[in-house]
Amino acid sequence: MDRRELLTAAAVAALGIRAVDAAPLRRSQIEESLVFVWSMHQEDGGFRPAPAAGLSTLGSVVAGTRATRYFKGALKSRETLAKFVQSCHAEAGGFADRPGLPPDLRSTAMGLMALKELDTPLAEIGKHFAAYFEREAKTAPEIYIAAAALHAAEIPPANPARWLEVYRATRTGEGTYGPTAGDSARAAVTFLRLGAELPERDALIANIKRAQTSEGGFRGAAGPDLVASYPCMRAMSLLKVRPDVDAMRRFVAACRGADHGYGSAPGQPSALSPTYYAAIISHWLDEFEA
């Protein structure tokens, strides 16, 4: 074992990550994870965020339906899902995360993504969503989620030039965007979604690649986790830049719990959002090896 392998083994042991293979998920494992996902589907048609009892949320509907898609499962209960999504629509416009809450930009983005996952025809209401996000999305994080929702729904933004200027204003002297690699990854993804050329591409890619740790996941505030890995892996997928695939597979596998769901990091309790992240990251890893 060389020095790098020794250091990696020591880091893995320090984090309590169990030894796992870097192989793609077996179909039996995927089926077990689908059971975990659908165990959180509720009578009101929505999904709750975690195994513990709780209220359904629109964000969890997106996580549940997307995890199902990327695990190549069958989407069940479309009618009840659609009813829950519609129950979150506010008369004044936009969507709330659950009935009774005020609508906001993020939950409206989740509403649009949920409609897309349910194959809702969006041609007639596309301009409404584009106008809403043009009015409400001011900051880089708001623009990121708005652009993500419109891109997923194949709806053109009303004024992409303004959104691009907001992102350009966050660029650092090193050609990165914001203090973390995740910020740079979200900037790269937004530029690409808006059909713009990526400034200082090489510097930005190098910054994202450096954030992949010896444990395999990408660096978050308290160490590698699936939350931080998600935007970095999405950027690398869009940019066709290969990460350390085997290391990333091992990290995803280490986040898998005994209940067949995934936590945000090894040893963390399973929940719906990190299970979706595990599903889509595994999908991107498969694409790199296709």
Q: Tell me: the pLDDT tens digits for 82-106?
A: 999 999 999 778 999 999 999 999 9
C-alpha distance from residue 236 to each of 5, 186, 231 (Å): 25, 11, 9
**Residue 79 maps to a domain:** no
Question: Could you give the 3-state DSSP secondary structure of residue 144?
Answer: helix
Q: The pTM is what?
A: 0.91
Bridge partners, 166 (sequence order)? none
Decide if 47 contacts 38 (C-beta within 8 A).
no
pLDDT digits (tens, 9 = 90+) for 203-252: 999 999 999 999 999 998 889 999 999 999 999 999 999 999 999 999 99
Residue 18 has pLDDT above 70, yes or no: no
**Residue 144 maps to a domain:** no
Q: How far apart are CA 179 and CA 50, in angstroms?
A: 30
**Residue 70 maps to a domain:** no
Place of tokens 């930005």: 204
**Residue 241 maps to a domain:** yes
**Residue 60 maps to a domain:** no
Tell me what the pLDDT averaged over the chain comes to. 92
Decide if 127 contacts 97 (C-beta within 8 A).
no
Range of the domain at 259: 213-290
Decide if 97 contacts 137 (C-beta within 8 A).
no
Decide if 251 contacts 229 (C-beta within 8 A).
yes
pLDDT class of 199 with cuts at 50, 70, 90:
confident
Q: What is the largest CA-CA distance in the chain?
A: 63
Tokens of 65: 């339906």
Q: How far apart are CA 251 and CA 232, in angstroms?
A: 14
Q: Phi first, then psi: give them for residue 54, nearest 5 degrees.
A: -175, 175
User: How many residues belong to the chain?
Assistant: 290
Q: How far apart are CA 252 and CA 271, in angstroms?
A: 14
**Residue 64 maps to a domain:** no
Q: 23 vs 268, which has greater pLDDT?
A: 268
- Residues near 156 by beta carbon (within 8 Å), at least 6 away in sequence: 130, 150
Sign of CA dihedral 155, 160, 166, 171: positive
**Residue 74 maps to a domain:** no
Strands 223-224 and 219-220: antiparallel
Question: Could you give the 3-state DSSP secondary structure of residue 147?
Answer: helix
Q: 86 vs 123, which has greater pLDDT?
A: 86
In the chain, how many domains are there?
1
pLDDT class of 31 with cuts at 50, 70, 90:
very high
**Residue 61 maps to a domain:** no
